[in-house]
Amino acid sequence: MRSKMGDLAVTRTLLVHDWLNQHGGAEVVLEMLCDLFPHAPVYTTIVDRRCQPRLAGRDLRPSWMDRLPGIHAHHQRYLPLFPLDWGSRRLPEAHLVLSNKSGFCHGVRTGKAVHVCYCLTPTRYVWEPEAYLEHERVPPGAKWALKAILPWLRRWDLRAADGVDHFVAISSLVQERIQQSYGRRSTVIFPPTDLERFRPPPVAPEDHYLVLARLAPYKRIDLAVQAFNQLGRRLIVVGEGRDRARLQAMAGPTIEFRGRLPQVEVDRLLYSCRALIWPGVEDFGLAPVEAMAAGRPVIARRAGGVLDTLREAETGLFFDAADPAALAQAVLAADHVNWQPERIRTHAARFGTEPFANSLKAFLVEALRRGKRGGVL
């Protein structure tokens, strides 16, 4: 089966994604891949279609795991089964397999197809178990079980990575992790952010700051809550998650929790906030780019994907320590910066969907030309 290497339109492409029971940055990337390859089926393990409104009508192909009891709500309980499932699955004949990976889907058997892995991160609980477990509520028995199977998971993951022909990383941080974990080089292509919806009206900033994130422990929203308790300033927290009750219990009267909101309301809050607060360490971070597209600065921890996207004193400010006092100090320092919304928006444009599509298409064409393990692009 041969393809015209310079024409992706006639290339039979299969998309691969770990699981579809939630909606976050990984699913935003998948939606863009589906737009780029509208006829490509999506192979995955589980599908909760209520979480995927933008994938309605798409050819989603879950595995037998989709029928396991309670897996849509608690897929982590079935952790050892995911590598077994992916390692035993054979895909139909194709020219190109494009896996969108943060878990184990890069281990799928691709046959003669060229396998490009868009790597969101090497599997976090395999290669950074202590950091992962530090902020997760995992029962002691589950922690013991994970440590017991960790050597097997690492051996499996390395073999799976060896089957990938070309790696793409979403940020410099992930590029380093791919080298450290898999011993492989990669090319950085930033994830797509839908910037077209941001046409900021002439709205003056209001008196609130904004957190926009899933409320999970590793996001470190607790740092923002404690910092704004100290400052006595208004903070609006948009997002839902298992950490909400704990965060609300520690929040003072100036902090509001809005839960999930319609996109139009989220965008209004972005337009009008004094700054987006980003206290966690993320592999990339879509929300900071969205805030910049709305012309608003970002106050972020100096770590992770924001090192690629944020320009200090131009589009935001960094704080160094995972400490509420350090964050509070950065908030106060931002008061003395003359932020230029148009300059911030211009910077954000480089992380839009069009640069992503153009860079990825060029990469895939070259990957097909080079073929199986044809060297680093």
User: Does a structural domain hold residue 1?
Assistant: no
Claim to verify: residue 278 and residue 361 sit in the same structural domain: no
Claim to verify: residue 330 and residue 361 sit in the same structural domain: no
The token pair at 251 is: 């929040």
Give the DSSP per-residue string, 126-167.
HH-HHHHHHTS---HHHHHHHHHHHHHHHHHHHHHHHT-SEE
Query: How many domains does the structure of the chain reveal?
Result: 2
User: Does a structural domain hold residue 3?
Assistant: no
Identity of the amino acid at 231 = L
Predicted pLDDT at 132: 67
The CATH number of whichever domain residue 322 belongs to comes to: 3.40.50.2000
User: Does a structural domain hold residue 89?
Assistant: yes
pLDDT tens track for 255-268: 999 999 998 899 99
Cα dihedral angle (60, 66, 71, 75), rounded to 10 degrees?
-60
Instruction: Quickly count helices (H) and strands (E) in the chain.
Output: 14, 13
Claim to verify: residue 151 and residue 108 sit in the same structural domain: yes
Predicted pLDDT at 117: 98
Total-model pTM: 0.88
User: Does a structural domain hold residue 141?
Assistant: yes
User: Does a structural domain hold residue 375?
Assistant: no
Q: What is the mean pLDDT of residues 166-182?
A: 97
What percentage of the chain exceeds 70 in pLDDT? 93
Residue 373 gets the label, from left (phi > 0), alpha (psi -120 to 50) or beta, of left
Claim to verify: residue 235 and residue 338 sit in the same structural domain: yes
User: Does a structural domain hold residue 138?
Assistant: yes
User: Does a structural domain hold residue 167?
Assistant: yes
CA distance 19 to 47: 7
Predicted pLDDT at 137: 62
Q: 170: domain range?
A: 8-192+353-370
pLDDT tens track for 14-53: 999 999 998 888 999 999 999 999 999 999 999 998 888 8
CA distance 231 to 110: 54
Claim to verify: residue 222 and residue 179 sit in the same structural domain: no
At residue 138 the predicted structure's pLDDT band, cuts being 50, 70 and 90, is low
Nearest to 169, CA basis, from 305, 286, 362: 305
Claim to verify: residue 180 and residue 215 sit in the same structural domain: no
195-199, 239-243, 350-354: least confident range: 195-199
Claim to verify: residue 288 and residue 359 sit in the same structural domain: no
Claim to verify: residue 186 and residue 230 sit in the same structural domain: no
The CATH number of whichever domain residue 71 belongs to comes to: 3.40.50
Predicted pLDDT at 130: 75
Claim to verify: residue 246 and residue 312 sit in the same structural domain: yes
